[in-house]
Structure 1
Protein backbone atom coordinates (compact mmCIF):
# COMPACT_ATOMS: atom_id res chain seq x y z
CA UNK A 1 0.00 0.00 0.00
CA UNK A 2 2.83 2.40 0.80
CA UNK A 3 4.26 1.89 -2.70
CA UNK A 4 0.98 2.90 -4.32
CA UNK A 5 0.77 5.96 -2.07
CA UNK A 6 4.38 6.83 -2.84
CA UNK A 7 3.85 6.76 -6.60
CA UNK A 8 0.57 8.66 -6.30
CA UNK A 9 2.24 11.36 -4.21
CA UNK A 10 5.28 11.41 -6.52
CA UNK A 11 2.97 12.06 -9.47
CA UNK A 12 1.12 14.77 -7.53
CA UNK A 13 4.49 16.29 -6.53
CA UNK A 14 5.50 16.49 -10.17
CA UNK A 15 2.19 18.03 -11.24
CA UNK A 16 2.14 20.67 -8.51
CA UNK A 17 5.84 21.53 -8.93
CA UNK A 18 5.35 21.90 -12.67
CA UNK A 19 2.19 23.94 -12.25
CA UNK A 20 3.74 26.47 -9.87
CA UNK A 21 6.95 26.75 -11.88
CA UNK A 22 4.90 27.33 -15.04
CA UNK A 23 2.76 29.92 -13.29
CA UNK A 24 5.75 31.97 -12.12
CA UNK A 25 7.57 31.46 -15.43
CA UNK A 26 4.64 32.85 -17.43
CA UNK A 27 4.91 36.08 -15.44
CA UNK A 28 8.62 36.27 -16.28
CA UNK A 29 8.40 35.73 -20.02
CA UNK A 30 5.11 37.30 -21.06
CA UNK A 31 2.71 38.82 -18.55
CA UNK A 32 4.97 41.47 -17.05
CA UNK A 33 6.57 42.33 -20.40
CA UNK A 34 3.09 42.85 -21.80
CA UNK A 35 2.07 45.04 -18.89
CA UNK A 36 5.31 47.03 -19.17
CA UNK A 37 4.45 47.73 -22.82
CA UNK A 38 0.90 48.88 -21.98
CA UNK A 39 -0.29 52.27 -20.85
CA UNK A 40 0.90 52.50 -17.23
CA UNK A 41 -2.57 53.30 -15.84
CA UNK A 42 -3.94 50.25 -17.67
CA UNK A 43 -1.03 48.14 -16.39
CA UNK A 44 -1.79 49.20 -12.81
CA UNK A 45 -5.47 48.35 -13.16
CA UNK A 46 -4.74 45.05 -14.92
CA UNK A 47 -2.23 43.98 -12.27
CA UNK A 48 -4.67 44.92 -9.51
CA UNK A 49 -7.33 42.76 -11.18
CA UNK A 50 -4.94 39.82 -11.68
CA UNK A 51 -3.70 39.98 -8.09
CA UNK A 52 -7.28 40.01 -6.82
CA UNK A 53 -8.30 37.08 -9.03
CA UNK A 54 -5.37 34.79 -8.21
CA UNK A 55 -6.72 34.04 -4.75
CA UNK A 56 -8.87 31.12 -5.85
CA UNK A 57 -9.41 27.39 -5.41
CA UNK A 58 -7.63 26.53 -8.67
CA UNK A 59 -4.40 28.32 -7.76
CA UNK A 60 -4.31 27.43 -4.04
CA UNK A 61 -3.35 23.73 -4.36
CA UNK A 62 -0.24 24.48 -6.42
CA UNK A 63 0.80 27.50 -4.37
CA UNK A 64 0.12 26.18 -0.86
CA UNK A 65 0.06 22.42 -1.46
CA UNK A 66 3.35 21.94 -3.29
CA UNK A 67 5.64 21.92 -0.22
CA UNK A 68 3.21 19.79 1.79
CA UNK A 69 2.87 17.17 -0.93
CA UNK A 70 6.63 17.13 -1.57
CA UNK A 71 7.39 16.60 2.13
CA UNK A 72 4.76 13.85 2.43
CA UNK A 73 6.31 12.22 -0.64
CA UNK A 74 9.73 12.49 1.00
CA UNK A 75 8.40 10.75 4.11
CA UNK A 76 6.85 7.97 2.02
CA UNK A 77 10.11 7.50 0.09
CA UNK A 78 12.07 7.43 3.34
CA UNK A 79 9.68 4.84 4.80
CA UNK A 80 10.25 2.80 1.63
CA UNK A 81 14.03 2.99 2.20
CA UNK A 82 14.55 5.06 -0.93
CA UNK A 83 16.94 7.53 0.70
CA UNK A 84 18.11 9.31 -2.45
CA UNK A 85 14.53 9.96 -3.59
CA UNK A 86 13.51 10.97 -0.06
CA UNK A 87 16.33 13.52 0.16
CA UNK A 88 15.50 14.97 -3.26
CA UNK A 89 11.77 15.27 -2.47
CA UNK A 90 12.56 16.83 0.92
CA UNK A 91 15.02 19.30 -0.63
CA UNK A 92 12.46 20.20 -3.29
CA UNK A 93 9.82 20.80 -0.64
CA UNK A 94 12.07 22.98 1.50
CA UNK A 95 13.39 24.95 -1.47
CA UNK A 96 9.90 25.76 -2.68
CA UNK A 97 8.69 26.50 0.85
CA UNK A 98 11.45 29.08 1.36
CA UNK A 99 12.06 30.37 -2.16
CA UNK A 100 8.52 30.17 -3.48
CA UNK A 101 5.83 30.32 -0.85
CA UNK A 102 7.53 32.28 1.95
CA UNK A 103 9.27 34.62 -0.50
CA UNK A 104 5.95 35.36 -2.18
CA UNK A 105 4.17 35.96 1.12
CA UNK A 106 6.90 38.25 2.49
CA UNK A 107 7.85 40.18 -0.66
CA UNK A 108 5.43 39.93 -3.60
CA UNK A 109 2.17 39.91 -1.62
CA UNK A 110 2.94 43.08 0.40
CA UNK A 111 3.99 44.87 -2.81
CA UNK A 112 0.78 43.68 -4.48
CA UNK A 113 -1.29 44.89 -1.52
CA UNK A 114 0.39 48.30 -1.69
CA UNK A 115 -0.47 48.51 -5.40
CA UNK A 116 -4.06 47.45 -4.65
CA UNK A 117 -4.43 50.35 -2.22
CA UNK A 118 -3.86 53.03 -4.86
CA UNK A 119 -6.06 54.32 -7.63
CA UNK A 120 -4.53 54.59 -11.08
CA UNK A 121 -3.71 58.29 -11.42
CA UNK A 122 -4.96 60.48 -14.26
CA UNK A 123 -1.46 61.79 -14.91
CA UNK A 124 0.48 59.59 -17.33
CA UNK A 125 3.78 60.63 -15.73
CA UNK A 126 2.53 59.70 -12.24
CA UNK A 127 1.13 56.39 -13.50
CA UNK A 128 4.46 55.66 -15.18
CA UNK A 129 6.36 56.39 -11.95
CA UNK A 130 4.04 54.18 -9.88
CA UNK A 131 4.21 51.35 -12.41
CA UNK A 132 8.02 51.46 -12.71
CA UNK A 133 8.43 51.58 -8.92
CA UNK A 134 6.21 48.50 -8.70
CA UNK A 135 7.21 46.50 -11.77
CA UNK A 136 11.00 46.51 -11.54
CA UNK A 137 11.39 45.11 -8.01
CA UNK A 138 8.38 42.82 -8.42
CA UNK A 139 9.94 41.27 -11.50
CA UNK A 140 13.29 40.77 -9.79
CA UNK A 141 11.67 38.87 -6.92
CA UNK A 142 9.40 36.98 -9.30
CA UNK A 143 12.48 35.83 -11.22
CA UNK A 144 14.03 34.66 -7.96
CA UNK A 145 10.95 32.63 -7.01
CA UNK A 146 10.76 31.28 -10.55
CA UNK A 147 14.35 30.02 -10.26
CA UNK A 148 13.61 28.39 -6.90
CA UNK A 149 10.49 26.80 -8.37
CA UNK A 150 12.51 25.56 -11.36
CA UNK A 151 15.01 23.93 -8.99
CA UNK A 152 12.05 22.41 -7.14
CA UNK A 153 10.74 20.92 -10.38
CA UNK A 154 14.19 19.61 -11.36
CA UNK A 155 14.68 17.98 -7.94
CA UNK A 156 11.22 16.44 -8.19
CA UNK A 157 12.15 14.95 -11.56
CA UNK A 158 15.40 13.62 -10.13
CA UNK A 159 13.52 12.15 -7.15
CA UNK A 160 11.06 10.36 -9.43
CA UNK A 161 13.97 8.98 -11.43
CA UNK A 162 15.58 7.83 -8.15
CA UNK A 163 12.35 6.05 -7.12
CA UNK A 164 12.93 3.56 -9.89
CA UNK A 165 16.53 2.88 -8.91
CA UNK A 166 15.50 -0.19 -6.96
CA UNK A 167 13.51 -1.48 -9.94
CA UNK A 168 16.43 -0.98 -12.34
CA UNK A 169 18.87 -2.76 -10.01
CA UNK A 170 16.80 -5.93 -9.71
Structure 2
Protein backbone atom coordinates (compact mmCIF):
# COMPACT_ATOMS: atom_id res chain seq x y z
CA UNK A 1 0.00 0.00 0.00
CA UNK A 2 2.92 2.35 0.72
CA UNK A 3 3.88 2.39 -2.97
CA UNK A 4 0.44 3.76 -3.83
CA UNK A 5 0.28 6.53 -1.26
CA UNK A 6 2.38 9.09 -3.15
CA UNK A 7 0.62 8.66 -6.52
CA UNK A 8 -2.76 8.80 -4.77
CA UNK A 9 -1.69 11.87 -2.82
CA UNK A 10 -0.54 13.58 -6.02
CA UNK A 11 -3.85 12.83 -7.77
CA UNK A 12 -5.70 14.21 -4.74
CA UNK A 13 -3.53 17.33 -4.77
CA UNK A 14 -4.13 17.88 -8.49
CA UNK A 15 -7.91 17.48 -8.19
CA UNK A 16 -8.20 19.61 -5.03
CA UNK A 17 -6.08 22.33 -6.62
CA UNK A 18 -8.24 22.31 -9.74
CA UNK A 19 -11.40 22.64 -7.65
CA UNK A 20 -9.92 25.43 -5.52
CA UNK A 21 -8.71 27.24 -8.65
CA UNK A 22 -12.12 26.98 -10.27
CA UNK A 23 -13.88 28.49 -7.25
CA UNK A 24 -11.12 31.08 -6.78
CA UNK A 25 -11.43 32.33 -10.37
CA UNK A 26 -15.09 33.12 -9.71
CA UNK A 27 -14.08 35.12 -6.62
CA UNK A 28 -11.39 37.29 -8.14
CA UNK A 29 -12.51 37.87 -11.71
CA UNK A 30 -15.67 36.31 -13.08
CA UNK A 31 -18.21 37.67 -10.62
CA UNK A 32 -16.55 41.09 -10.43
CA UNK A 33 -16.69 41.27 -14.20
CA UNK A 34 -20.33 40.26 -14.30
CA UNK A 35 -21.18 42.74 -11.54
CA UNK A 36 -19.61 45.51 -13.64
CA UNK A 37 -21.55 44.52 -16.77
CA UNK A 38 -25.06 45.43 -17.82
CA UNK A 39 -27.18 43.23 -15.49
CA UNK A 40 -29.10 41.82 -18.46
CA UNK A 41 -25.81 40.65 -19.92
CA UNK A 42 -24.69 39.34 -16.51
CA UNK A 43 -27.83 37.24 -16.09
CA UNK A 44 -27.58 35.86 -19.61
CA UNK A 45 -23.86 35.12 -19.24
CA UNK A 46 -24.32 33.42 -15.86
CA UNK A 47 -27.15 31.30 -17.24
CA UNK A 48 -24.85 30.19 -20.07
CA UNK A 49 -21.90 29.49 -17.75
CA UNK A 50 -24.04 27.50 -15.34
CA UNK A 51 -25.39 25.41 -18.21
CA UNK A 52 -21.91 24.79 -19.61
CA UNK A 53 -20.20 23.76 -16.35
CA UNK A 54 -21.90 20.38 -16.37
CA UNK A 55 -19.26 18.69 -18.50
CA UNK A 56 -16.71 15.89 -18.55
CA UNK A 57 -13.79 18.27 -17.99
CA UNK A 58 -15.13 19.70 -14.72
CA UNK A 59 -16.72 16.51 -13.37
CA UNK A 60 -13.50 14.76 -12.23
CA UNK A 61 -12.45 17.72 -10.09
CA UNK A 62 -15.91 18.30 -8.67
CA UNK A 63 -17.00 14.71 -8.06
CA UNK A 64 -13.61 13.01 -7.88
CA UNK A 65 -11.71 15.13 -5.36
CA UNK A 66 -13.54 13.86 -2.28
CA UNK A 67 -13.23 10.28 -3.48
CA UNK A 68 -9.52 10.60 -4.27
CA UNK A 69 -8.84 12.26 -0.91
CA UNK A 70 -10.79 9.56 0.94
CA UNK A 71 -8.93 6.76 -0.86
CA UNK A 72 -5.64 8.50 -0.07
CA UNK A 73 -6.67 8.86 3.58
CA UNK A 74 -7.40 5.14 3.80
CA UNK A 75 -4.16 4.20 2.00
CA UNK A 76 -2.15 6.36 4.37
CA UNK A 77 -3.89 4.91 7.42
CA UNK A 78 -3.25 1.36 6.19
CA UNK A 79 0.41 2.30 5.66
CA UNK A 80 0.68 3.43 9.29
CA UNK A 81 1.12 7.06 8.23
CA UNK A 82 -1.49 8.25 10.68
CA UNK A 83 -0.51 11.92 10.91
CA UNK A 84 -0.63 12.31 7.13
CA UNK A 85 -3.90 10.36 7.08
CA UNK A 86 -5.44 12.79 9.57
CA UNK A 87 -4.49 15.78 7.39
CA UNK A 88 -5.93 14.04 4.33
CA UNK A 89 -9.05 13.22 6.33
CA UNK A 90 -9.50 16.90 7.17
CA UNK A 91 -9.01 17.78 3.48
CA UNK A 92 -11.60 15.14 2.55
CA UNK A 93 -14.16 16.65 4.91
CA UNK A 94 -13.49 20.20 3.76
CA UNK A 95 -13.94 19.27 0.11
CA UNK A 96 -16.91 16.94 0.63
CA UNK A 97 -18.88 19.13 3.02
CA UNK A 98 -17.93 22.73 2.20
CA UNK A 99 -16.98 22.16 -1.43
CA UNK A 100 -19.33 19.59 -2.95
CA UNK A 101 -22.26 19.45 -0.52
CA UNK A 102 -22.44 23.23 -0.14
CA UNK A 103 -22.39 23.64 -3.91
CA UNK A 104 -25.17 21.10 -4.39
CA UNK A 105 -27.25 22.47 -1.50
CA UNK A 106 -26.87 26.21 -2.15
CA UNK A 107 -25.14 27.30 -5.36
CA UNK A 108 -26.78 24.78 -7.70
CA UNK A 109 -30.34 25.61 -6.55
CA UNK A 110 -29.54 29.32 -6.94
CA UNK A 111 -28.21 28.62 -10.45
CA UNK A 112 -31.28 26.58 -11.35
CA UNK A 113 -33.57 29.37 -10.13
CA UNK A 114 -31.63 31.91 -12.20
CA UNK A 115 -31.92 29.64 -15.25
CA UNK A 116 -35.72 29.91 -15.06
CA UNK A 117 -35.69 33.70 -15.17
CA UNK A 118 -36.49 35.40 -18.42
CA UNK A 119 -34.08 38.30 -18.70
CA UNK A 120 -36.15 41.49 -18.31
CA UNK A 121 -35.80 44.25 -20.86
CA UNK A 122 -35.88 46.84 -18.07
CA UNK A 123 -32.34 47.40 -16.81
CA UNK A 124 -33.41 48.32 -13.26
CA UNK A 125 -35.51 45.19 -12.91
CA UNK A 126 -32.56 43.16 -14.22
CA UNK A 127 -30.21 44.94 -11.80
CA UNK A 128 -32.42 43.99 -8.83
CA UNK A 129 -32.50 40.34 -9.94
CA UNK A 130 -28.77 40.24 -10.59
CA UNK A 131 -27.70 41.93 -7.35
CA UNK A 132 -29.96 39.70 -5.23
CA UNK A 133 -28.46 36.65 -6.93
CA UNK A 134 -24.85 37.80 -7.12
CA UNK A 135 -24.51 38.97 -3.53
CA UNK A 136 -25.72 35.72 -1.96
CA UNK A 137 -24.03 33.52 -4.56
CA UNK A 138 -20.68 35.18 -3.93
CA UNK A 139 -20.89 34.72 -0.17
CA UNK A 140 -21.37 30.99 -0.60
CA UNK A 141 -18.76 30.80 -3.33
CA UNK A 142 -16.23 32.51 -1.05
CA UNK A 143 -17.04 29.95 1.62
CA UNK A 144 -16.36 27.01 -0.69
CA UNK A 145 -13.25 28.76 -2.04
CA UNK A 146 -11.78 29.17 1.43
CA UNK A 147 -12.69 25.57 2.31
CA UNK A 148 -11.09 24.07 -0.79
CA UNK A 149 -8.05 26.32 -0.35
CA UNK A 150 -7.70 25.02 3.20
CA UNK A 151 -8.05 21.48 1.82
CA UNK A 152 -5.11 22.10 -0.53
CA UNK A 153 -3.14 23.45 2.44
CA UNK A 154 -4.01 20.33 4.49
CA UNK A 155 -2.82 18.14 1.63
CA UNK A 156 0.44 20.09 1.57
CA UNK A 157 0.85 19.52 5.30
CA UNK A 158 0.08 15.84 4.78
CA UNK A 159 2.88 15.65 2.20
CA UNK A 160 5.27 17.09 4.78
CA UNK A 161 4.16 14.42 7.25
CA UNK A 162 4.40 11.48 4.83
CA UNK A 163 7.19 8.99 5.34
CA UNK A 164 9.84 8.75 2.66
CA UNK A 165 9.81 5.56 0.62
Task: Tell me the TM-score normalised to structure 2 length.
Answer: 0.98
Look up the match of 2:138: 139
Q: Which runs of 4+ in 1 moved over 2 A?
A: none
Question: In 2, Cα distance between the equivalents of 1:13 and 1:51?
Answer: 25
Question: In 2, Cα distance between the equivalents of 1:151 and 1:45?
Answer: 32
Cα RMSD (Å) of the superposition? 1.0
Question: Are residue 62 (structure 1) and residue 61 (structure 2) matched?
Answer: yes
Look up the match of 1:158: 157
Residues 94-125 of structure 1: per-residue CA shift (max 9 Å, x gap):
11111010000000000000000011100001
Aligned residues: 165
Question: Are residue 123 (structure 1) and residue 122 (structure 2) matched?
Answer: yes
Unaligned runs of 5+ in 2: none
Question: In 2, Cα distance between the equivalents of 1:121 and 1:32?
Answer: 20
Task: Tell me the TM-score normalised to structure 1 length.
Answer: 0.95
Look up the match of 1:28: 27
